[in-house]
């Protein structure tokens, strides 16, 4: 809470450095910091990867993270995670690191600014149609807006817009409430309670990063899925038919 | 009553009412959702992973309504445009 006063609701208002009209606020500064940290960190870890039995602990950590993300994506979308893991994983890691770093004194999470979260939500807003068109074609993707009837078109478009807004405001509200509650508690009961709320804030940060990634995946999956679901349905129906035929035959065999 | 105290009073009262009323609905909804989620985990422990994931996503969805109320009350308290306008007018 070094930079932010009680009056400031977002770290955008905290100007770190100003040169003429170019203004560097704390949000941009810490975002750059996280980008550097993530890029350098992953470069440092992946510099000497080994396929042997003995691996370094950092490689182990990254393997666990990537494997977990791939597994989650596979479970949610029921597709091969290859194409999605870059986008979803980047979002997840960025939000996670930026939330977790709030244990560092003087640091303000860039996700507690509406500009950052709106930018992330806009990325999702663009990525959903891109993945949808990539997997179903332009007409196939546009067709889902007029399903089940043409009259649903405005509601589908409104849903698309409002869920982007909801994504942005949800992350912003959660992170901003964390920092704000700590600031208020520091003024009221500065001895012990801020620590507890800080720990709770860390938990909320992890959950919010997870939820942002999962929701993005759900949106992308709903834009790409339909075709595969139809195939799966057909397969299931075939299986069911086979089973019923099998049962009928068994019954015929049992009855004398 | 002059406009500064009027706007200040209205802002404080509205902020309190906003977060107070806005917390009721999501609290009831989340309570129901968690109770149902625990009941289904108790019924089908094998599906714990799926149920927990869906529960978390659903909770986030429900919670976002409370977060909206909170954001609005924070804006009323800390970044109130009417208050700023009145203060600048009184100051200048």
Query: Which of B19, B51, B21 has its CA nearest to residue B37?
Result: B51
Give the domain CATH number at B36: 1.20.20.10
**Confidence at residue B34, expressed as pLDDT on a 0 to 100 scale:** 95
Closest chain A residue by Cα to residue B55: A211
- Longest CA pairwise span in chain A (Å): 97
Contact B75 A9 (CB under 8 A): yes
Mean pLDDT of chain B: 89
pLDDT over 90 percentage in chain B: 45
Most confident of the following: A20-29, A36-45, A177-186, A236-245: A36-45
Does A169 lie at the interface with B, CB-CB under 8 angstroms? yes
Distance (Å) of CA A70 to CA A63, A116, A122, B22, B34: 10, 25, 23, 37, 27
Closest chain B residue by Cα to residue A180: B74
| Three-state DSSP class for residue A34 | helix
Count of domains for chain B: 1
Q: In the predicted model, is pLDDT for residue A187 greater than 80?
A: yes
Contact B60 A8 (CB under 8 A): no
B45 in a domain, yes or no? yes
Distance from CA of A172 to the nearest CA of B (A): 9
Tokens, residue A131 = 């993945």
B92 in a domain, yes or no? no
- Residue B60: which pLDDT band, with cuts at 50, 70 and 90? confident
For A123-172, the pLDDT digits (tens) are 999 999 999 998 888 888 888 888 778 888 899 899 889 999 989 999 99
Contact B71 A7 (CB under 8 A): no
Could you tell me which residues of chain B have a Cβ less than 8 Å from any Cβ in chain A? Answer: 49-50, 53, 56-57, 60, 63-64, 67-68, 70-71, 74-75, 78-79
Which of A85-89, A158-162, A235-239 is least confident? A235-239
B72 in a domain, yes or no? yes
Does A164 lie at the interface with B, CB-CB under 8 angstroms? no
Identify all chain B residues contacting A180, using CB atoms and an 8 Å cutoff: 74
A176 vs B50, B68, B74: nearest CB: B74
B12 in a domain, yes or no? yes
Helix axes A26-45, A114-136, angle to 10 degrees: 50
For A59-72, the pLDDT digits (tens) are 889 899 999 999 98
B77 in a domain, yes or no? yes
Closest chain B residue by Cα to residue A8: B78
Q: Please say whether the beta carbons of A10 and A111 come within 8 A.
A: no
B88 in a domain, yes or no? no
Q: Which domain holds residue B66?
A: 3-82
Cα of A152 vs its chain's centroid, Å: 27
Give mean pLDDT, residues A199-218: 90
Q: In the predicted model, is pLDDT for residue A1 greater than 50?
A: no
Does A181 lie at the interface with B, CB-CB under 8 angstroms? no
- Longest CA pairwise span in chain B (Å): 68
Answer yes or no: is the ipTM higher than 0.85. Answer: no
Identify all chain A residues contacting B68, using CB atoms and an 8 Å cutoff: 169, 173
B89 in a domain, yes or no? no
Q: In the predicted model, is pLDDT for residue B4 greater than 60?
A: yes
Q: Can you give the pTM of this predicted structure? A: 0.81
């Amino acid at each position: 809470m070094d930079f932010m006063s009680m009056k400031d609701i977002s770290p955008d208002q905290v100007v770190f450095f100003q040169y003429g009209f170019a203004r560097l606020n704390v949000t941009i500064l810490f975002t750059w910091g996280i980008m550097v940290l993530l890029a350098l960190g992953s470069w440092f870890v992946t510099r000497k990867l080994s396929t042997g039995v003995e691996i370094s602990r950092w490689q182990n950590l990254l393997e666990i993270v990537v494997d977990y993300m791939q597994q989650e994506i596979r479970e949610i979308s029921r597709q091969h995670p290859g194409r999605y893991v870059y986008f979803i994983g980047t979002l997840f890691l960025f939000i996670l690191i930026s939330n977790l770093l709030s244990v560092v004194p003087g640091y303000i999470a860039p996700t507690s600014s509406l500009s950052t979260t709106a930018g992330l939500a806009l990325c999702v807003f663009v990525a959903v149609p891109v993945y949808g068109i990539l997997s179903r074609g332009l007409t196939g993707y546009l067709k889902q807006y007029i399903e089940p009837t043409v009259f649903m078109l405005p509601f589908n478009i409104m849903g698309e817009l409002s869920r982007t807004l909801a994504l942005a405001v949800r992350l912003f509200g959660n992170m901003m409430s964390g920092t704000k509650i700590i600031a208020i508690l520091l003024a009221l009961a500065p001895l012990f309670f801020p620590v507890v709320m800080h720990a709770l804030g860390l938990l909320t940060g992890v959950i919010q990063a997870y939820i942002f990634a999962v929701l993005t995946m759900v949106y992308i999956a709903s834009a790409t899925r339909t075709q595969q679901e139809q195939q799966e349905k057909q397969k299931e129906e075939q299986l069911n038919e086979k089973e019923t035929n099998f049962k009928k035959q068994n019954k015929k065999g049992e009855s004398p | 009553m002059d406009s500064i105290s009027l706007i200040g009073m209205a802002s404080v009262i509205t902020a309190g009412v906003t977060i107070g009323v806005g917390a009721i609905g999501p609290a009831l909804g989340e309570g129901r959702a968690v109770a149902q989620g625990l009941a289904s985990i108790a019924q089908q422990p094998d599906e714990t992973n799926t149920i927990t994931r869906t529960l978390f996503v659903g909770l986030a969805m429900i919670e976002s309504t409370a977060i909206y109320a909170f954001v609005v009350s924070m804006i009323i308290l800390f970044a109130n445009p009417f208050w700023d306008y009145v203060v600048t007018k009184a100051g200048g």
